[in-house]
Structure 1
């Protein structure tokens, strides 16, 4: 553990103007606050924040950030308060400590909800001051280095999974690849111990069997470049075990079949020397086709710049990364290489330098569930890149597999919402088209904001997917409100019920609903039925009323000829037969008899086992299933519901099967007395202007 004077000296070595008094006060305060607390390893707890501060000094961060590292656990784990931190160390440090403090009082029910809420608050704090992320990454790195001391294996795996899913990608997104590699390596060792052991053992055999291959190739590269007038520092190493493991699985290759297990870095004096070195290396060794990437002319979203190529050297494939000293410093430290935080505008500067932060913040507003938030955020952090151009020649970066819809949302949410088509390289293409490097993309727009729900099946960016889902939820709710309002008005007219505000408000209170809209949605979803609505609006009016039956297959409400009295049976979920249909049965040992329509495909599969059945004359109602295709326009679903209600049918289930820009296909379960009533309903539906087609589902 670093001693007080050692920590101060490390900071002053790169920042002579650092506030030494601030660092000393933070050190003493944290040590006293944590007192006799111990870590799982048995070490004093105080050693953890000091080691975190030490990691931050390796990044050469400012004194406020170092003080935050020292103090980051005091509010959560000691009796120290936010007011004390603000008073003793100033509002800037106080704000940072508050942003990094673990959020232990989150009231959530599931693991995914806890993780999502942590991530939500973390991203918001990070957008205010990016140093919050730097301290949090250092905190997570030290915790991962000491993870082995936790006795609970489930807790170790949960922390490792969270590290691999969230913290390592975040480190990569701000260009801190050394952090990312170590976090991934430590998490991989915990999550896949056998895989980690297998890869590391093979790497060790490679070293032993090939002698010091890395040193020989390093020396050869350096000598070759020097002979051609390019002075360079060169060093190499085997790739990270996790990187090798992922490549083996992605390419379905054995370790021995991989072509680039070793990677070498060439550091030269200038960008021009980068390209000179590349030409020299390609002249000497054959390059792998399709494995060259130029991140100097087209940097990654996190600012990363370098040339990448893979060549065949002495019978083995090696990856070579070529960059100058400034590029290398940025590649190692990422955002931490630019710690100009004295401007007082850290959050805005970070959002300007790292626009993906704005995308993540927009995702926070669009995600409907914790699971969606985690899904979209992981999508936003994991991707390979494609570089495309706007019509004005501006370069834009997208994930591999991105479509024009993703491009539209990348430019602006308004452009995405109004997108109706695209031109790629001057030619109109399908919105499903996958963009490739060098494409010039022009978005065709309409004046109507109408994201197509079908887009969700092929967009790849989190921002686009979140926006499409938000629009779909809005449309579904609008349709439910329209249907529910229609059902409400029909019930009021049919039964002569009062509908003034005072009566409706009293009914809402009895039904435990917030407002009229909540009532309309409940009616559309059938969580509030006709009888419950009548009783709520006019208490006592339903006494003696015949309650509608919720008929379930096999509930005994239906009688069938050909079965012994009391015999168990179920109505086939595949064909939904109703009284009036020709039917037959299949005997299922231990399950009774399955009743199917005579044209059901299930019967065709087992013709030898048919039982001759017929409906009893006094059979009750059953549930039929129909598929309706309606125009995508306001009121279509409400019109369908009204027709079914007028024909005395009862909707007991509704599901959206398919939706596109012009048509919606809905699957509706309708409780009917028999085939005659169902035929009348389908005929009435087919005559409705809003309905394109109606077919009974009898698969």
Structure 2
């Protein structure tokens, strides 16, 4: 463990103007606060924050960041308070310590929820001051270095998985590749110990068999460049075990089939020499097609710059070569930390990183659930990037597999919402077309357009997916409020007297809701009974309003047909009263009635469409549901009981899928109308045994 004077000397060594008194106060305060606390390996707990601070001195970070590292666990793990931190060290350090304070464990939440909430908290904090993330990453790196001392195997695996899924990608995203590689290696060793041991043994055998092969090749590259007048530093290394394992997994090949386990870095004086060195190397050894990447002219989203190439070396195997300047190399190793500017308010200037941070914060603000958050952030962080251009020549970076819809949302959310078509390299293409490196993309827009649910089937970016889902949620909420308003009006009509103008506002307060729209949505979803609404708007009235007598359903009729023309309800979409419907003329056959979203309508000429509506008093129809229940005794009985209790007769029941945790049923039930169907779905969703209940999308008829 670093001693107090050693830590201070490290900081003063690269920043002579650092606040020495601040560092000394932080060291003494943290040591006293942690007292006799011990870590899992038996060391004093105080050693952990000091080692974290030591990691950050290697990045030459400022005195406030080092003090934050020393203090980062005091508020959570000791009796120290945020007020003490602010009084002793000032508001800036207090804010940073608060940003990296670990979250309290929420035992009732799943591991995914804990990871997502953790990610949400410190990403939002980091968006204001990226030093929060730097301390957090150093904290996680040191925890991974001491992971083996944790006795619980389950806890070790959870921490390793969280590191692999969240912290290592974040380190990569801000260009801190050394942090990323060490985290990945340590997590890989815990998660896949057999694979880790196998690969490290193979690497050791390779070293023994080839002698000092890495040094020999590096010297050869240095000599070759020197002969051409290019002074260069050349260093070689074997790729780290996780990188090798991932390539083996992605390509479905064995270790022996890998031909590029060695990588070499060539460091030259300026960008021009990067390209000169590339030409020399390509003249000497054949380039491997598809392996050349120019990240100098088109840097990665995190600011990474370098030339990458692969060549077939004279020793008859492939090697990877990266060519960069010393400045590019520092940025590649330390990412945003390489841009640190002292005495500028302690802030790293956002430059190349600000765009992806803004994108992630937008996703964080609108994610509906922790799982959705993780899905979006993993999309935003993990995928390989491609480069496309606007018609004005602006460079847009996207994940591989992105479409014009992703491109539009990357430019601006409003452009994404209004996308109606696209041109790639001047040619009109479908919106699901994959964008390739170097494509010029022009988005065709219309203010009358709105995001389509079908886009979720092919978009590749978290930003696009989040924006589409947000629009769909808001639209569905508006439709539910309108439906609830109609039900509310029907309930009010059954009251014995007219309501006072402020009766609705009083009812909302009695039901502990915030707005009338909340009540309307609850009515539409069947979350509140008619009697409860009547009691809320006019207390004591529910006993006077008798329910409608039971009896046979009234026959279905539709409006808009010529008298004498027959109709049938289409089996592909099973419309029920309350759905928006359209008729399709068929030669020598009755008119087919479809819901307006039915894909069959897309194939029918518009001149064959007939605008229809339901006749007054229409009741009855069949609805198809997908219900996922837990794989536990009685779940099917619960589902059947709910359907029976809601007056829904089961016409067909099919077990579509099953696994160790869940059973998925597809069922056809008889319902009165859309309102009846919504109440049934609400009742199903309220049961613990039911994971989800949804009306099936229009499609071919359900097989018996």
Tell me which interval the TM-score lies in, with the shorter structure as reference length: 0.7 to 0.9
Cα drift, residue 527 of structure 1:
3.6
How far, CA to CA, are the matches of 1:97 and 1:351 in structure 2? 24
* Equivalent residues of 1:531, 1:547 under 8 A apart: no
Summarize the Cα distance change of 1:135–1:647 in structure 2 as closer, same or farther, 3 Å threshold.
same
Tell me, yes or no, if structure 1 residue 647 matches structure 2 residue 618.
Answer: yes
The residue that corresponds to 1:629 in the other structure is 596
Tell me, yes or no, if structure 1 residue 539 matches structure 2 residue 510.
Answer: no
Cα drift, residue 310 of structure 1:
0.8
Is the partner of 1:263 in helix, strand or coil? Answer: strand
Query: Which structure 2 residues correspond to residues 233-244 of structure 1 after superposition, within 5 A?
Result: 233-244=233-244
* Equivalent residues of 2:57, 2:66 under 8 A apart: yes
Query: Which structure 2 residues correspond to residues 456-475 of structure 1 after superposition, within 5 A?
Result: 456-475=456-475
Is the partner of 2:287 in helix, strand or coil? Answer: coil
How far, CA to CA, are the matches of 2:612 and 2:496 in structure 1? 20
* Equivalent residues of 1:451, 1:468 under 8 A apart: yes
Cα drift, residue 501 of structure 1:
5.2
The residue that corresponds to 2:115 in the other structure is 115
* Equivalent residues of 1:405, 1:459 under 8 A apart: yes
How far, CA to CA, are the matches of 1:115 and 1:680 in structure 2? 44
How far, CA to CA, are the matches of 1:235 and 1:205 in structure 2? 21
* Equivalent residues of 1:491, 1:497 under 8 A apart: no
Output one character per residue of 1:199-256: Cα deviation in whole Å (capped at 9) or x when no partner: 1121112112222221221111111111222111111111111111111111111111
Summarize the Cα distance change of 1:60–1:679 in structure 2 as closer, same or farther, 3 Å threshold.
closer
Output one character per residue of 1:509-556: Cα deviation in whole Å (capped at 9) or x when no partner: 776655432333233333445576567663113558657999xxxxxx
How far, CA to CA, are the matches of 2:45 and 2:673 in structure 1? 72
Summarize the Cα distance change of 1:484–1:58 in structure 2 as closer, same or farther, 3 Å threshold.
same
How far, CA to CA, are the matches of 1:467 and 1:249 in structure 2? 33
Cα drift, residue 105 of structure 1:
6.3
Query: Which structure 2 residues correspond to residues 216-255 of structure 1 after superposition, within 5 A?
Result: 216-255=216-255
Summarize the Cα distance change of 1:627–1:491 in structure 2 as closer, same or farther, 3 Å threshold.
farther
Cα drift, residue 342 of structure 1:
2.8
Is the partner of 1:16 in helix, strand or coil? Answer: coil
* Equivalent residues of 1:108, 1:114 under 8 A apart: no
The residue that corresponds to 1:204 in the other structure is 204
Is the partner of 1:647 in helix, strand or coil? Answer: coil
Of residues 7-16 and 483-492 in structure 1, the stretch that sits farther from structure 2 once superposed is: 483-492
* Equivalent residues of 2:417, 2:449 under 8 A apart: yes
* Equivalent residues of 1:627, 1:697 under 8 A apart: no
The residue that corresponds to 1:54 in the other structure is 54
Cα drift, residue 641 of structure 1:
13
* Equivalent residues of 1:575, 1:698 under 8 A apart: no
* Equivalent residues of 2:495, 2:545 under 8 A apart: no
* Equivalent residues of 1:351, 1:358 under 8 A apart: no
The residue that corresponds to 1:346 in the other structure is 347
Tell me, yes or no, if structure 1 residue 311 matches structure 2 residue 311.
Answer: yes
The residue that corresponds to 2:330 in the other structure is 329
Tell me, yes or no, if structure 1 residue 141 matches structure 2 residue 141.
Answer: yes
The residue that corresponds to 2:65 in the other structure is 65
Cα drift, residue 483 of structure 1:
2.2
Is the partner of 2:362 in helix, strand or coil? Answer: helix
Cα drift, residue 377 of structure 1:
1.1
How far, CA to CA, are the matches of 1:330 and 1:549 in structure 2? 76
Query: Which structure 2 residues correspond to residues 463-612 of structure 1 after superposition, within 5 A?
Result: 463-493=463-493, 500=500, 503-504=503-504, 515-528=515-528, 538-541=541-544, 546=549
Is the partner of 1:267 in helix, strand or coil? Answer: strand
How far, CA to CA, are the matches of 1:103 and 1:130 in structure 2? 18
The residue that corresponds to 2:684 in the other structure is none
Cα drift, residue 143 of structure 1:
0.5
How far, CA to CA, are the matches of 2:68 and 2:407 in structure 1? 39
The residue that corresponds to 1:603 in the other structure is none
The residue that corresponds to 1:213 in the other structure is 213
Summarize the Cα distance change of 1:222–1:645 in structure 2 as closer, same or farther, 3 Å threshold.
farther
Output one character per residue of 1:258-317: Cα deviation in whole Å (capped at 9) or x when no partner: 121111111111111111111111111111111100001111111110000111112111
Is the partner of 2:543 in helix, strand or coil? Answer: coil
How far, CA to CA, are the matches of 1:164 and 1:696 in structure 2? 42
Summarize the Cα distance change of 1:698–1:77 in structure 2 as closer, same or farther, 3 Å threshold.
closer
Summarize the Cα distance change of 1:422–1:74 in structure 2 as closer, same or farther, 3 Å threshold.
same
The residue that corresponds to 1:417 in the other structure is 417
How far, CA to CA, are the matches of 1:285 and 1:459 in structure 2? 40
The residue that corresponds to 1:188 in the other structure is 188
Cα drift, residue 139 of structure 1:
0.6
How far, CA to CA, are the matches of 2:409 and 2:489 in structure 1? 40
Cα drift, residue 100 of structure 1:
1.1
Is the partner of 2:267 in helix, strand or coil? Answer: strand
What is the total number of aligned residue pairs between the two structures? 599
Summarize the Cα distance change of 1:515–1:83 in structure 2 as closer, same or farther, 3 Å threshold.
closer
How far, CA to CA, are the matches of 1:641 and 1:147 in structure 2? 66
* Equivalent residues of 2:598, 2:699 under 8 A apart: no
* Equivalent residues of 1:127, 1:350 under 8 A apart: no
Cα drift, residue 14 of structure 1:
1.2
Structure 2's unaligned 5+ residue stretches are: 554-570, 577-592, 600-610, 628-642, 652-668, 675-696
The residue that corresponds to 1:396 in the other structure is 396
Is the partner of 1:646 in helix, strand or coil? Answer: coil
* Equivalent residues of 2:52, 2:139 under 8 A apart: yes
The residue that corresponds to 1:44 in the other structure is 44
How far, CA to CA, are the matches of 1:695 and 1:175 in structure 2? 47
Cα drift, residue 628 of structure 1:
2.5
Cα drift, residue 184 of structure 1:
0.7
The residue that corresponds to 1:661 in the other structure is none
Query: Which structure 2 residues correspond to residues 436-451 of structure 1 after superposition, within 5 A?
Result: 436-448=436-448, 450-451=450-451
Is the partner of 2:235 in helix, strand or coil? Answer: strand
How far, CA to CA, are the matches of 1:641 and 1:507 in structure 2? 37
Summarize the Cα distance change of 1:352–1:545 in structure 2 as closer, same or farther, 3 Å threshold.
same
* Equivalent residues of 1:127, 1:351 under 8 A apart: no
Cα drift, residue 486 of structure 1:
2.5
Is the partner of 1:346 in helix, strand or coil? Answer: coil
The residue that corresponds to 1:262 in the other structure is 262
Is the partner of 1:387 in helix, strand or coil? Answer: strand
* Equivalent residues of 1:650, 1:672 under 8 A apart: no
Summarize the Cα distance change of 1:365–1:163 in structure 2 as closer, same or farther, 3 Å threshold.
same
Is the partner of 1:36 in helix, strand or coil? Answer: coil
Backbone CA RMSD of aligned residues: 3.6
Query: Which structure 2 residues correspond to residues 637-676 of structure 1 after superposition, within 5 A?
Result: 643=614, 646-649=617-620
Structure 1's unaligned 5+ residue stretches are: 551-572, 579-625, 633-639, 657-667, 683-692
Cα drift, residue 373 of structure 1:
1.0
* Equivalent residues of 2:235, 2:265 under 8 A apart: yes
How far, CA to CA, are the matches of 1:496 and 1:203 in structure 2? 86
Summarize the Cα distance change of 1:494–1:84 in structure 2 as closer, same or farther, 3 Å threshold.
closer
